[in-house]
Structure 1
Amino acid sequence: ALADDVLIKEWPLFKKYVLGESKIPAKYREMIGLAIAANTRCPYCTLFHTAAAKLHGASDDELQEIYFLSSLSGRWSTMLFAQQYDLEKFTEEVHKIGAHLRK
């Protein structure tokens, strides 16, 4: 179990940033949390953020999309890392893609 002083210090932060008002709407905040939980493979966080996202109105279709989108981070990160893809080159490519999409 957590020591009492840990919970005392953590609870106000959790309440403020997870349960409180934010510039990010609660549904989106929980969907972000779910994507992160999926990537870190945390069953506790996945359960919590799935339930919280549903509580805040996330549909099953939205959750399915989050599952897919969150899988991209792990997959592409693995492929780029395994190839030792140059970070500066990748940065340039991302900027070019952004410039093209803004046209």
Structure 2
Amino acid sequence: MVTADTRNEIEQSLGQVPSWMEDLAEPASDHSWGIFRDLTFGETELSPREKALIGVGVAAASKCPYCTHFHKEEARLADVTDVELEEAVTLAGSTQYFSTILHGNEVDLNDFVDETSEIVAFLEEQAAASAGAD
């Protein structure tokens, strides 16, 4: 249960104290609100739009209907379109798909890192060549 001060802050921020926040065990309840508040609503390096899209992708990949609903609503508040939401979910699924393949086939991480570095270098060269052609 959150302290009285935290309860007041949550009500000021959200208009109510969501029931699930009442289920947070001490001593983590006030701290949990701080993490939620600071990362979700605070000024960070990511825009609210970027944070919401990340939230949607993670929620979909972790198959959490609560988080999926929350982050989709958060994204809509940040003017994310339905098409962009679909793309974020598809990207999350694609990442999870390939992660399963990499883990299941026990691909060597060092080899993967080396190959990725080579791919990035190639793509950078292609972008530079394309920019020079303009």
TM-score normalised to the size of structure 2? Answer: 0.71
Q: Indicate the residue corresponding to 2:99 in structure 1.
A: 77
Report the secondary structure of 2:28's partner residue: helix
Residue 88 in structure 1 maps to residue 110 in structure 2: yes
Residue 6 in structure 1 maps to residue 28 in structure 2: yes
Shift of 1:6: 2.9
Cα distance change on mapping 1:4 and 1:82 into 2, 3 Å: closer
* 5+ long unaligned stretches in structure 1: none
Report which stretch shifted further, 47-56 or 18-27: 18-27
Report the secondary structure of 2:83's partner residue: helix
User: Counterparts of 1:61 and 1:18 in 2: how far apart (Å)?
Assistant: 22
User: Counterparts of 1:22 and 1:54 in 2: how far apart (Å)?
Assistant: 19
Question: Percent of aligned pairs with the same residue?
Answer: 33
Q: Indicate the residue corresponding to 1:26 in structure 2.
A: 48
TM-score normalised to the size of structure 1? Answer: 0.91
Superposition misfits of 4+ residues, deviation over 2 angstroms: 1-7
What does the per-residue CA deviation read over 1:20-39, in whole Å, with 9 as the maximum and x for residues that have no partner?
22221101111011111111
For the pair shown, the structure with the greater C-alpha radius of gyration is 2
- Cα RMSD between the aligned structures? 1.3
What does the per-residue CA deviation read over 1:61-91, in whole Å, with 9 as the maximum and x for residues that have no partner?
1101101111112100111112111111111
What is the total number of aligned residue pairs between the two structures?
103
User: Counterparts of 2:57 and 2:115 in 1: how far apart (Å)?
Assistant: 25
* 5+ long unaligned stretches in structure 2: 1-22, 126-134
User: Counterparts of 2:66 and 2:45 in 1: how far apart (Å)?
Assistant: 25
Report which stretch shifted further, 50-59 or 11-20: 11-20
Does 1 or 2 have the higher relative contact order (CA < 8 Å, sep 6+)? Answer: 1
- 1:29 maps to a residue whose letter is K
